[in-house]
Amino acid sequence: MKKIYFIVLIIVLGLNSLFALGNTAMENDSVSLGAGYANDVYYSFESGEILSVERQNWDIAFYTSPWSAGIITNGGNGTELYLYPFSDTSAWNSIDTTGLSTWPVLFNSTDDWENGAFNRHATGHPDYGWGVYNSITHDVVGDSLYLLKLSDGNLKKLWIQKKVSMQNTWYFKYADLDGGNEVSEVLSFNDYTDKNFVYYSIQTGESLDREPASVTWDILFTKYMGINNDQPYPVTGVLNNVDVPANKFMEVGPDFEDWLAAPMDSTKSSIGYDWKYFDMTQFTYIMEDSLTYFVRNKDKNVYKLVFSAFDYTIGKVVFEKSMVYTSAISESKPETLFSVYPNPASDFINIGFMEKSGWEGISIADINGKTIYQAKVSGKNIKIPISKYPAGIYFVSLKSANSFQVRKLIIR
């Protein structure tokens, strides 16, 4: 989701030096979500499990940044959100549920943490779904009513009244459909901006501090609403923290570590749930074969991740991990660059580099990470025919004993 009120464009002008660790030993680890996948497990590649916390104790959650309008629902717990289609907030005292079973359910985005269920019918600035931004006060003022079906089946009407952005304070109220048990809340999140969300239970009327500081974890093992055959569907898998991207390589061997052979995906479900599938004949989950992920954590170190087992009876995920690259800040450019020309190309490409650059091998991979060309390096120039490859985006990689660099190639 767009960062509210401001658009920040970050242009990367250079590439930091990357130091290869070589083929490193994989470390075995596991986490347990419990029977029925009852818990969320926050995990750090450096430190291991950070926190395991009950998932069922919240219904909605608010993104903590003062300049965000993001509100999510606990879709993994069965919570369902409906936009009231018959009127604006003037209908608070006269909710009509006729045709409720035909209303579309709103779920959180699988791409962006901030694009929650309450934001799914946003039309763009200044409309953020549940409310509209006021350019004078800088508040977001609620203009929509919702029905929330809780995990216990009860229905509540809900009105996010406003967010006072300068104070990072939210105003909302909810009640039974007939107006009974009305609760009005005012919540300030200034003390929680080191975390992604503050959670709220409509069933108990409590706000909950239930997640670790964002800088301490990389991935979240959880149950959530994923997309299966273009339809929302409850799945159990892995979600990436904000600013922790990953990429995926299929049909690769256990020694594969060329993580730069495909771009990193910064969406929150770039690891997701489809590293496993359920085998009806064996009535158990099977891990996808020859599947490897690479994850870049908040320290910019890159970890290799391979799933090895999933026991659905106790929600246990078994995996292997290793650090394959560590980043180091350098103000100077790498000494051993190479060039690819022409680019874009259709018939052939030339690879140019210094004769004493130390490069040992070259490879070309498609956007899915599948290697289509591989050879040893000799001399100082290489000419490679490419006319047999389909048009698209590819990645040319050169590797030496202690360096690994990539250039994007466009084949027309």
Read off the pLDDT of each residue in 343-350 and give the average, rounded to a whole number.
88
Mean predicted lDDT score pLDDT of the chain: 88
50-101 pLDDT per residue, tens:
999 999 999 999 999 999 999 999 999 999 999 999 999 999 999 999 999 9
Contact 17, 334 (CB under 8 A): yes
For the full predicted model, state whether its pTM sits above 0.85.
no
pLDDT of residue 355: 55
On the question of pLDDT at 388 being above 60, the answer is yes
Q: Which of the 8 DSSP states describes residue 347?
A: S
Nearest-angstrom CA–CA distance, 258 and 33: 31
On the question of pLDDT at 20 being above 80, the answer is no
213-263 pLDDT per residue, tens:
999 999 999 999 998 777 889 999 999 999 999 999 999 999 999 898 888
170-217 pLDDT per residue, tens:
999 999 999 999 999 999 999 999 999 999 999 999 999 999 999 999
Q: Where are the domains of the chain?
A: 17-51+230-328, 60-208, 338-411
Question: Residue 202: which residues within 8 A CB-CB, separation 6 or more?
Answer: 59, 60, 148, 150, 156, 158, 174, 183
91-127 pLDDT per residue, tens:
999 999 999 999 999 999 999 999 999 999 999 999 9
**What is the DSSP annotation of 271-333?**
SBSTTEEEETTTTEEEEPTTEEEEEE-TTS-EEEEEEEEEETTTTEEEEEEEEEEEEE--SSP
- How far, CA to CA in Å, does 312 sit from each of 30, 91, 135, 169? 13, 44, 49, 40
Please choose, from the candidates 235, 233, 237, 226, the residue with its C-alpha nearest in 3D space to the C-alpha of residue 319: 237
**What is the DSSP annotation of 171-220?**
EEEEE-TTSTT-EEEEEE-GGGTTSSEEEEETTTTEEE--S--GGG-SEE
On the question of pLDDT at 15 being above 60, the answer is no
Q: Which pLDDT band, with edges at 50, 70 and 90, does 352 fall under? A: confident
155-166 pLDDT per residue, tens:
999 999 999 999
Contact 294, 324 (CB under 8 A): yes
pLDDT of residue 344: 87
Which residues sit opposite 130 in a β-bridge? none
Q: Which pLDDT band, with edges at 50, 70 and 90, does 337 fall under? A: low
363-379 pLDDT per residue, tens:
898 877 788 998 888 76
Domain 338-411 -> CATH class: mainly beta
pLDDT of residue 74: 97
The residue with greater pLDDT, 234 or 5, is 234
How many helices (H) and strands (E) would you count in the chain? 0, 30
Q: Which of the 8 DSSP states describes residue 119?
A: G
Residue 110: helix, strand or coil by DSSP?
coil
The residue with greater pLDDT, 285 or 14, is 285
Read off the pLDDT of each residue in 374-401 and give the average, rounded to a whole number.
84
Number of neighbouring beta carbons within 10 Å of residue 153:
8
